Amino acid sequence: MNTLEQLVAFIPAMLAFSWSAENIGWPGYGIASALGVVWLIGRFVYATSYVRDPASRGAGFMMSFVPTALMLLGTLVAILISLV
């Protein structure tokens, strides 16, 4: 269920970042793809850690939260740069 909750933010962040970054000349698709791989690995780490010991799932959560946050921040920066 947590993965579905994460997807609600991750997919729009990935689409917005890749599109806005490409519009200003950054390699948005490549960066979004790499962060998507990190997110996917983070979900795997989260799930396996949760099965072993629910208290140890923090690393997996951060590996999936940070890429989403970076893409949202990158989208904001790309939008601000395109306005200048």
Taking the C-alpha atoms of residue 40 and residue 81, their distance in angstroms, rounded to an integer, is: 29
Q: What is the pLDDT of residue 58?
A: 96
Which amino acid is residue 25, in one-letter code? G
* pTM, entire model: 0.94
The whole-number average pLDDT for the span 50-59 is 95
The whole-number average pLDDT for the span 22-50 is 97
The whole-number average pLDDT for the span 16-43 is 98
Question: With pLDDT > 70 as the criterion, what percentage of the chain qualifies?
Answer: 100
Confidence of residue 50 (pLDDT cuts 50, 70, 90): very high
Domain boundaries, position 8: 2-83
Number of domains in the chain: 1
Which amino acid is residue 54, in one-letter code? P
**Taking each helix axis from N to C terminus, what angle separates 28-52 and 2-23, rounded to the nearest 10 degrees?**
170
